[in-house]
Structure 1
Amino acid sequence: MVEDDYYQLLGVSRDVDASALKSAYRKQAMKFHPDRNPGDAVAEGKFKACAEAYEILKDPQKRAAYDRHGKAAFENGGGGRSGFNSAGGGDFSDIFDNIFSEFMGGGPRGRGRQQRSQAIRGGDLRFDMELSLEEAFTGTTKNIDIDVAATCDSCSGSGAAPDAVVETCGTCQGMGQVRVQQGMFVIERACPQCHGAGRVTSKVCDDCLGAGRLDKEKSLEVKIPAGVDDGTRIRLSGEGEAGARGGPAGDLYIFIHLIPHEVFRRQGTNLHVSVPVCFTDAALGGTIDVPSIDGERDELAIPAGTQSGREMRRRGRGMPGINGGGRGDLVVEIEVETPTRMSKRQKELLQEFRELEGETRSSPKSANFFSKIREQWDELTS
C-alpha cells in the first residue's frame, strides 16, 4: 500500500532539499526494512512505499510533476514506475547498497563489496570438555584432538594448482557479486562464474579440489585455569576453521562441564557438604572431621544442642575465584543421625531419658509444635 502524500510518508516538508530528502529516506528505509521487521507485512509495505516516494521526489522533473498533479502524473504510462525500473535503477541501487552495508556493519559500498568477495572469515568451533571438581579446583592442562577445516598446504588456500593461470573473473569484474534487478529492487548475488571468489583459475588444486581447505585432525594443548565452573566458556582465538580466500581463521570455544562429585556440591565459589553426626554428639557437643576439596581434613566443633539441617561455615575453604579474589567457603550441613541398633542397656537409658524429658522440656521446638496443635484441636472441638 502506497501513502497518498509522498512528503508525509518520508516525514519532510515540501521545500526539502536533496540532501535532507536522502537522509530522511535512509532513516525511513532502515526503520521499515524487512530484515528489521521479519514477517511484518505492514512494515514491508511502508518500506516499498518509501522507496517509491524517494524515487519520484529525488528527480527534479518527476518531483515538479508530482507537485502539480500528484500521483496522477505517473498513471497511464506517465513514467513513474517505468523510470523506477530503468534510468533511475543505478542510483537507487547505490542507496540500497549503503543501507545494506550499514545493516551488516560494513563501510562504503565499493570497499565493502570488494572485501566480501575476497576474504571470508572461518567458522567458529565448539568443544565440550568434562572436568572433575578437583581439576577445576587446581586448574589443569588438557590435550584435545579436533576435526577442523584447515588451509590446504599444497595451494596455501588459493584453491589453484601451482601451474594454473589465475585471472580476474570477467562476469563480475573481480567483485565476486553480480546485481540482478527484480521489479523495483536491485539484489546482489554471488557470481555464478567464480562463486564469489572474484577470480577464475585454469586448473584447481588436486588436493583440495579448489576449495582452498581440507578437513584435518588438529591436536591442541588447552590450559584450564583454576576456579572454572560448569558452563564456563574458554575462547581460543584463531583455532577454529580456516578462512576462505585468505580470510582469518575462526575461534575455538571450550565449554566446561563439571562431573558431579560424590561428596561436594558447588554453588558459585562455595562448596556444600552434608556430614552425619550421631545424636549424642549433637545433643552433648563434640568434634568431627570434615573433608576438604584440597585433600586435607578440618576439625569442626559441634556445639551442644545442634539440630539437623544447621549450617556451619569454614571460611576460605571453598573454590578459588577464576579471576582471583580468594576462595569461597565450605558450608557444612549437619545431619543428625538416629541410631538403628541399640543394646538393651542403651534402650533402657533412652527410655529413662524419655520419661524425664517431659519434666525438663529438653526439646522445646517439638513441645511448642504439639502445644499449638492441641490448641487448634481444642478450638475445633469447642
Structure 2
Amino acid sequence: MSTKDYLEKDYYAVLGVPKTATADEIKKAYRKLARQYHPDSNQGDTAKEAKFKEVSEAYDVLSDTKRRKEYDEARTLFGSGVGGQRPGAGGFSFDFGDLFGGTGQGQQGGAGERLGDLFGGLFNRGGGASTRTTTTSRPRRGQDIESEVTLSFTEAVEGTTVTLRLTSSAACAACTGTGARAGTTPRVCPTCEGTGAASRNLGNFAFSEPCRDCKGRGLIVDDPCPVCEGSGRAKSTRTLQARIPAGVADGQRVKLKAKGAPGENGGPAGDLYIHTHVKPHAVFGRSGDNLTVTVPVTFTEAALGAEIKVPILKGMPVTLRIPPGTPNGRTFRVRGRGVARKDGSKGDLLATVEVLVPNTLDDKSRELLSEFQTATAGEDPRADLIQRARSE
C-alpha cells in the first residue's frame, strides 16, 4: 500500500464506524463484515473477496492503537486545502504526485516517519536557506504480511505449529539492493547531493520534499538491474514455521511480531498476520473458552439417575453422575476440560443430556411402560401450561 493510498482511504467508512468509535465497536464491525465477505462463504465472488481484503486492511490499521493514531494525524494534516495547485498569488498547496512520486523501494515506513520526511524543513525561518533531510541511510520498517491457515478443531484448541510459504518484498538478490546492474554502482544524485530531499523556497520559509530526480533515494542508477528494474527490491519467497497459540477461534487474526517482510537499511521487519479458519468437530462444539458436547441418555437413566461416560477432547472419558429426574436438555459442567486461556487456566466442558425415546418396543417393554402409564395416570404435565395460556 502506497503512502498516497494510506492518506486517501477512509478506513472508518470502510468499517462503517465513526471516527470516535471505541476499540470494541471497531472489532464488532470488523467481525460482522468479515463474516459477510469471507472468501470461504463467497467462493468465486471476486468482488466480495476484494471487499474482504479492504475490510481486513482497514481493521489492521484501526485496531492498532499506534497505527490508528498515526493514520488520524496524517489525515488531519492533509484534511484541508491539499489539492493539486502550484504556489501562486493566493497562497500554495501541493500535489500528491509531487510528494508521493515513489521511492522505487517498494517499502512503506510508519506514517509518522513519512510525514517527518516531508515536513522536517517546513517552517525554516532562515531567510530562504536550504534545508535537507538525509533519507538514504534512514532505516525503514518492512511491510506487514497477511496469510491464511486452516486448522482442525483440535489444533485450534490445543495450539499447533504450521508451515507457511510467504512471498514479500526484500532486497534484490541480483544487485544486493543497490538497484544497479551487477558490476556497476549507482552514483550520488547531483540534484540533492545524496540526501534524497530537495528544498523549495517559499519566501519566509522553505519546504522540503522528496527529490524528483532520484525519487527520494539519493542515488541515480544509470544501468538498472534487469531483475528489479532499478528499484533495489524484488519478490522473495520463504518458508516459515509459525506457532499458532492454543485457544484460537475461527476467524481470529494471529499477530506474529517481526515475522513480516524484512526492513531496509537495517530497519525492523514488518509483522505477520495470520487469519485462522477452524474446521468443525464431529462431536464437540465451542462456546468461548468452554467446549460443548451433547450426551444421549436413556429414559430410565434420566428418571432414576445414573453414572454415565462423557467424552473429552483427546483423552479418556470422564464419569458424570446425573441425578434422578434429570430433564432433557439439562447441562452439566466438567471443570477444567475446556479451551486453554492465556493465563494458563482452562475453560470447562459443558455436557448437555439428550433423553432418547426408543423407536420400537418389544412386548415386554410395552407392557412395562403401559403399567407405568397407568401408575402415573393422575398426573397431567400440561395442566399448568394450559392454565397459564388461558390466563393471558
Taking the aligned partners of 1:115 and 1:202, their CA distance within structure 2 comes to 20
**Which letter maps to 2:120?**
R
Q: Kindly tell me: are residues 347 and 188 of structure 1, through their superposed partners in 2, closer, same or farther at Cα, counting changes over 3 Å? A: farther
Residue deviations 1:348-375 (CA, integer Å, cap 9, x gap): 332332233232x3x75x33213434x5
Number of residue pairs aligned between Structure 1 and Structure 2: 289
**In the TM superposition, what are the counterparts of 1:1-382 in structure 2 within 5 Å?**
35-36=75-76, 44=80, 82=89, 104=115, 109-110=120-121, 113-115=133-135, 119-178=139-198, 190-244=210-264, 247-321=267-341, 323-359=342-378, 361=379, 366-373=382-389, 375-376=390-391
Does the aligned pair in 1 maintain the 2:120–2:208 contact within 8 Å?
Answer: no
**Which letter maps to 2:354?**
E
Q: Kindly tell me: are residues 282 and 105 of structure 1, through their superposed partners in 2, closer, same or farther at Cα, counting changes over 3 Å? A: farther
**Which letter maps to 2:288?**
G
Residue deviations 1:216-262 (CA, integer Å, cap 9, x gap): 32111112233333344333333322345664432212222221111
**Which letter maps to 2:369?**
L
Describe the SS at the equivalent of 2:303: helix
Does the aligned pair in 1 maintain the 2:179–2:186 contact within 8 Å?
Answer: no
Residue 186 of structure 1, CA deviation: 8.5
Taking the aligned partners of 1:185 and 1:306, their CA distance within structure 2 comes to 83
Does the aligned pair in 1 maintain the 2:308–2:321 contact within 8 Å?
Answer: yes
Q: Which has the higher Rg, Structure 1 or Structure 2?
A: 1
**215-224 or 112-121: which moved more?**
112-121
Describe the SS at the equivalent of 1:114: coil
Does the aligned pair in 1 maintain the 2:261–2:269 contact within 8 Å?
Answer: yes
Does the aligned pair in 1 maintain the 2:74–2:115 contact within 8 Å?
Answer: no
State the Cα RMSD in Å.
3.8
Taking the aligned partners of 1:35 and 1:223, their CA distance within structure 2 comes to 36
Cross-structure match for 1:9: none
Does the aligned pair in 1 maintain the 2:151–2:276 contact within 8 Å?
Answer: yes
Does the aligned pair in 2 maintain the 1:118–1:176 contact within 8 Å?
Answer: no
Residue 105 of structure 1, CA deviation: 6.6
Does the aligned pair in 2 maintain the 1:158–1:246 contact within 8 Å?
Answer: no
What percent of counterpart residues are identical?
38
Q: TM-score, normalising length from structure 2? A: 0.62
Taking the aligned partners of 1:107 and 1:177, their CA distance within structure 2 comes to 9
Describe the SS at the equivalent of 1:35: helix
Structure with the higher fraction of residues in helix conformation: 1
Residue 316 of structure 1, CA deviation: 0.8
Q: TM-score, normalising length from structure 1? A: 0.64
Describe the SS at the equivalent of 1:36: helix
Residue deviations 1:253-303 (CA, integer Å, cap 9, x gap): 222222111111112221011112122211111122111012311111121
Q: Kindly tell me: are residues 208 and 104 of structure 1, through their superposed partners in 2, closer, same or farther at Cα, counting changes over 3 Å? A: closer
Describe the SS at the equivalent of 1:292: coil
Residue deviations 1:6-55 (CA, integer Å, cap 9, x gap): xxxxxxxxxxxxxxxxxxxxxxxxxxx9932987xxxx48x99xxxxxxx
**Structure 1: segments with no counterpart, 5+ residues:** 1-32, 49-80, 86-99
Does the aligned pair in 2 maintain the 1:213–1:244 contact within 8 Å?
Answer: no
Does the aligned pair in 2 maintain the 1:118–1:197 contact within 8 Å?
Answer: no
Residue 331 of structure 1, CA deviation: 0.4
Q: Kindly tell me: are residues 241 and 144 of structure 1, through their superposed partners in 2, closer, same or farther at Cα, counting changes over 3 Å? A: same
Does the aligned pair in 2 maintain the 1:276–1:335 contact within 8 Å?
Answer: yes
Q: Kindly tell me: are residues 105 and 305 of structure 1, through their superposed partners in 2, closer, same or farther at Cα, counting changes over 3 Å? A: farther
